[in-house]
Copies of this chain bind each other. A is one copy, B any other.
Amino acid sequence: MFESAELGHKIAKEVYRKELPPLREGLLDAQLDLLQSKKFPVIILLAGVDCAGKGETMNLLHEWMDPRHIESHALRELTDEEQNRPPMWRYWRDLPPKGKIGIFIGSWYSAPLVENVYGRTKNAELDQQLDRIIRFETMLCNEGALILKFWLHLSEGQQKKRLKKLEEDPKTRWRINETDWKNFKLYDRFRTVSERMLRSTSTPEAPWTIVEGADEHYRSLTIGKVILEALRRRLDAPETPPVDEPLPPMLTSIDGLQILQTLDLTKKMTKPQYDAELETLQGRLNLLSRHKDFSKISVLALFEGNDAAGKGGSIRRVTQALDARSYRVIPVAAPSEEERAQPYLWRFWRHLPRRGRVAIFDRSWYGRVLVERVEEFCSHADWMRAYGEINDFEEQLVRNRTVVLKFWLAISPEEQLKRFKEREKIGFKRFKITDEDWRNREKWPLYEQAVCDMIDRTSTEIAPWTLVEANDKYHARIKVLKTICSRIEQALEKR
């Protein structure tokens, strides 16, 4: 894999001087087109052997293009706000919006590589990590991002020469430290693991470009040209309306029996029973939130359900049990301008709770496979892939010791009609029934199908859905509280 990058590629100074001006002009031009069209974000990864010119390339790209619209990110110590969230949180924070360029040195590949080279992870774990990376990058590509990955390579001899040279020059000596030499001693091991990594993460959407790093002119010109070509190709592609590929149909139960139908919506609870249980459960939840190990986990509860199913009321019964300082409710509405310039999960990543905190989402990322699917706000392929992306997302949360609770509040069409009419009668503005509510109601079967598919595909053992029979509000609220308490208890016991 690295053979072609050890041939001693070289570009003569005169050639470089001649080729550079049109390249720079072209890059600047493409960057401006990108900025004005805001068609897509560009993510450039610079990875590879130590001292192969990653930093130099980063600086060069800033010089060649307009630095006002590039943001570069290097490996660095995590801040404590980052340490509190899943590892990918810091990269989500740094993703460039549409129209801009983000350059990453190191990036999400660094830790898996180094950990494996130093024997801290097994190969099976590495493969898992790489698999997650592939899924992450595929998601970015599906969301429109252009990802350009460069691997700067040096042969063992070249690296040694370069380390020595940097060390001998008093002006560059500061760049070399013990870790560099320690890594160098493991050159072969780095090479083997890198090869495995590159091989398995070189996907059609986001392939690696391996570049010999020894000759500065060759390296810079190669990278510049690849970037320019990729940019131009995407920018100049005709605007074709997204063709809905003929995806295989999703299985719908051929006997008509679906999960929602198994719910016994007649479940009920009396007021006195409710009052007693509510008090007990709220007290239990409050105690749990002050448990000594609570600061080691975080809790994320999301609420979805039919219109008028009582999400707001259930959420309030939960928040009443918590100290106002420890939770946040995130009402999910239409995305803002800044959010629309990012992948659809971005606006949820930004609200992830730190440890010791509770985040409650009133509606959530499941909008993608519910309203966006039914109302055709996104393409068939978009919501089809969302199931997997959502499972990946929640897996990251769980791995970061987040208790993920997902509630579907289900009512019958009859109960909904009753509530709509009551609300119309009271005419109280905070329960205003809009035309949209009535329109949604007409699509009941479509929504029901979407809900069943959602549950089938995203109710996982680490983040299961809890289906809540909500025709009776008392029953619903108690079930929600009970579930939250017992899931938190499980999480605390495991610690």
List residues of chain A with CB under 8 Å of any chain B CB: 28-29, 32, 55, 58-59, 61-63, 66-74, 76, 79-81, 103, 105, 174, 290, 312, 315-316, 319-320, 323-325, 328-331, 336-338, 362, 429-430
Contacts and interface: CB of A to CB of B under 8 A. Distances in A.
B28 A63 contact: no
Given A429-B32, A430-B28, A430-B32, A62 B319 contact: yes
Contacts of A429: 29, 32
Given A337-B336, A430-B29, A324 B59 contact: yes
A316 B69 contact: no
Contact of A316 (B63, B290, B316): B63
Given A68-B331, A430-B29, A63 B320 contact: yes
A67 B66 CA distance: 44
A346 to B, nearest CB: 13
B328 A73 contact: no
Contacts of A430: 28-29, 32, 66
Contact of A325 (B58, B69, B319): B58
In the assembly, how many copies of this chain are there? Answer: 2
Contact of A67 (B55, B63, B329): B329
Contact of A66 (B29, B62, B290, B312): B312
Nearest to A341: B336
A328 B100 CA distance: 13
A430 B331 CA distance: 41
A377 to B, nearest CB: 19
27 contacts: A28-B430, A32-B429, A32-B430, A55-B325, A58-B325, A59-B324, A62-B324, A63-B319, A66-B312, A66-B430, A67-B319, A67-B324, A67-B329, A68-B312, A68-B315, A68-B329, A68-B330, A70-B324, A71-B328, A74-B325, A80-B81, A103-B324, A174-B290, A336-B337, A337-B337, A337-B338, A338-B338
Central interface residue in A62, A63, A330, by most chain B CB within 10 Å = A62
Contact of A324 (B32, B58, B315): B58
A69 B331 CA distance: 8
Nearest to A36: B429
Contacts of A338: 336-338
Nearest to A354: B79
Contacts of A66: 312, 430
Interface pairs A-B: 3 shortest CB-CB: A74-B325, A68-B331, A72-B324
A67 B316 contact: yes
Central interface residue in A66, A67, A74, by most chain B CB within 10 Å = A67
A337 to B, nearest CB: 5
Nearest to A66: B312
A327 to B, nearest CB: 8
Contacts of A312: 66, 68
B68 A362 contact: yes
Contact of A315 (B32, B67, B174, B320): B67
A315 B65 CA distance: 12
A50 to B, nearest CB: 16
Contact of A323 (B55, B103, B331): B55
A59 B325 CA distance: 9
A9 B119 CA distance: 69
